[in-house]
Amino acid sequence: MQVLLEKMSVPSFSAEQALNNIVKCWVVVALIGQWLFAAYILSVYAFPTLLGNTALTLSLSPGQGAKSESATDTLIFFAHILPAAIMAMSGLLQLIPNIRRNYPKFHKYNGRMFFIFGLSGAFTGLYLTWGAGFRFSDLGSLGVTLNGLLIPIAIYFAWKTIINKKLKSHQRFAIHSFILVNGVWSFRLYLMAWFVLNQGANGNSRNIDGPADIALSFASYLLPMLIAEIIFWAKRSESNKVKWSAASFAAIGTIITTIGVFAAGTMMWFPRVMKAFEGLF
Ligand code: HEM
């Protein structure tokens, strides 16, 4: 009996493998969500502008930026959003180890581009919010404002550590830079996931300054940053308990991202992409 049981070896997962697999699942789901976001930006803002159909952008853009009467603010608005499509298409590729190993030059130049666009996104975003006044409310803009202030700090350290060849620290700050630059993307995922889970608004307001809106605007980058830190801690730790706990946190993060990608994709981005294509062709 003992021999039979030994032969029927049940496939076992180590905590380390479980953690790695969950992170891989998150990358796949996030990649789908990032490309949907890129498709949205390209079809609502880039293609109509290139084809001279600005009326289409005006009809599909949810915010105030595209409707501005100031030429300077319109220019800054487009300088803010168009690089976002490029970052959404290629930013996540920086986190894939195989690409880093096999295409080091791509990693280097793609990383530089991500940092430059990330910095310009943060500065133009802060200007659009507080200079041009494209905000629905002061209170509701605090989360994204802190997000915009943290982006240059994380990018500065990611840059400094790679110049000083401190690879481990670079990796850590680069991941935080990635999370922060994508805070506005996560906010859309979290908000839409919140609507789906609550079957509608719950603590939300039209001006995006309800208690749930404010909590989600901070959680959109603070929660993934916390999960990333827990994963780094688990990778350094020898303890299986710590690794399993990190795997559980990573799984919760992956579930939230999956619901968010599904919700934002089906409720926010895909319908607008379809309308843009109907209007263009
Ligand atoms: C660097 C990362 C960022 C990216 C990738 C990004 C991306 C975008 C995108 C795609 C839009 C168009 C919105 C839509 O059509 O749904 C947008 C609009 C906007 N973003 Fe950002 N953003 C970033 C950072 C920020 C920050 C840090 C702030 C504020 C501090 C900000 C403020 C704004 C404002 C005010 C608008 C215009 C909203 C409107 O039209 O009413 N962004 N951003």
Q: Are 82 and 48 in contact (CB under 8 A)?
A: no
Q: Is residue 228 part of a domain?
A: yes
Q: Number of structural domains, the chain?
A: 1
Q: At 37, which helix (H) or strand (E)?
A: helix 15-41
The residue whose CA is least distant from atom 17 of ligand 1 is: 81
Question: Which two tokens mark 259?
Answer: 């619901």
Q: Is residue 193 part of a domain?
A: yes
Q: Is residue 9 part of a domain?
A: no
Q: Is residue 40 part of a domain?
A: yes
Q: Is 189 in the pocket of ligand 1 (CB under 6 A)?
A: no
Q: pLDDT digits over 14-62, tens only?
A: 999 999 999 999 999 999 999 999 999 999 999 999 999 999 999 999 9
Q: Is 137 in the pocket of ligand 1 (CB under 6 A)?
A: no
Q: Is residue 81 part of a domain?
A: yes
State the residue range of the domain holding 177: 28-94+101-274
The residue whose CA is least distant from atom 42 of ligand 1 is: 125
Q: CB count, 10 Å around CB of 51?
A: 12
Q: What is the mean pLDDT of the chain?
A: 95
Judge whether residue 226 has pLDDT over 70.
yes
The residue whose CA is least distant from atom 43 of ligand 1 is: 81
Q: Is residue 20 part of a domain?
A: no
Percent of the chain with pLDDT over 90: 95
Provide the pLDDT for residue 274.
Answer: 97
165: phi > 0 → left, psi -120 to 50 → alpha, else beta; which?
left
Q: pLDDT digits over 111-153, tens only?
A: 999 999 999 999 999 999 999 999 999 999 999 999 999 999 9
Q: What is the pTM of this model?
A: 0.95
Q: Is residue 7 part of a domain?
A: no
Q: Is residue 108 part of a domain?
A: yes
